[in-house]
Amino acid sequence: MALDFQQIYIKIHEIGATARQRRERLESLRREARALFRQTAQDVDALRDKVESAKAVDPAIRCALPLKEALDTHHPTPGLPLNATLIAADGSQ
């Protein structure tokens, strides 16, 4: 099967012509998603209610259920152990 480099060249230019608009649109969607996350992350009860409503429609639904902490809760990582022994069972040791 022969490649038509002229068609490939044209397609690359078409994609390149809209790259800036696509990037700006994606960044706009990311900002919107982050804002929505910040707005709803603290309202754990409402999120839990949404999951329960979804389960009423589809009992087979599988998703994380928020308990007490907000979705954007974060904790510092624990300190590293001074000594560690690694055991590998896949032959990578």
Residue 13 falls inside a structural domain:
yes
What pLDDT is attached to residue 93? 53
Residue 33 falls inside a structural domain:
yes
Residue 93 falls inside a structural domain:
no
> Based on the structure, what is the number of domains in the chain?
1
CA pseudo-torsion sign 15, 18, 19, 23:
negative
Residue 11 falls inside a structural domain:
yes
What pLDDT is attached to residue 38? 93
Residue 90 falls inside a structural domain:
no
Q: Fill in the amino acid letter for 66.
A: P
Q: Consecutive 10-residue runs of the chain (93 residues): their mean pLDDT?
A: 87 91 96 95 92 94 87 92 84 60
- Residue-range definition of the domain harbouring residue 29: 7-57
Return the structure tokens found at 64. 């994380």
What pLDDT is attached to residue 3? 83
DSSP character string of 24-51: HHHHHHHHHHHHHHHHHTT-HHHHHHHH
Residue 40 falls inside a structural domain:
yes
